[in-house]
Amino acid sequence: MARLEEKWLRKLVRNCFLQYGYDNDSLPLKEQEWKQLCAKILAKKTSDDGDMDLYEIVHDVIYDYITK
């Protein structure tokens, strides 16, 4: 994944966590978890759900992460 694409995707993930009530200091992610979430988002984007909006995909993946 390109560095700029990764930074942008992390920003989307961070903003999604903020919408779910987390703040920048309480984000529950370690580096490996960031990479896993980004990989899940990109995989879902290129799978059968490819017609879904990226923001919807991010919210779906983050919601699944939070509720597990």
Checking if the pLDDT of 3 tops 90, the result is no
pTM to 2 decimal places: 0.82
For residue 61, give every residue at least 6 positions away whose Cβ sits within 8 Å of its Cβ, in sequence order, or none: 37, 40, 41, 44
For residue 39, give every residue at least 6 positions away whose Cβ sits within 8 Å of its Cβ, in sequence order, or none: none
State pLDDT tens for residues 24-43. 777 768 889 989 999 999 89
pLDDT value at position 25?
Answer: 79
pLDDT value at position 49?
Answer: 59
Residue 64: both structure tokens together: 């699944």
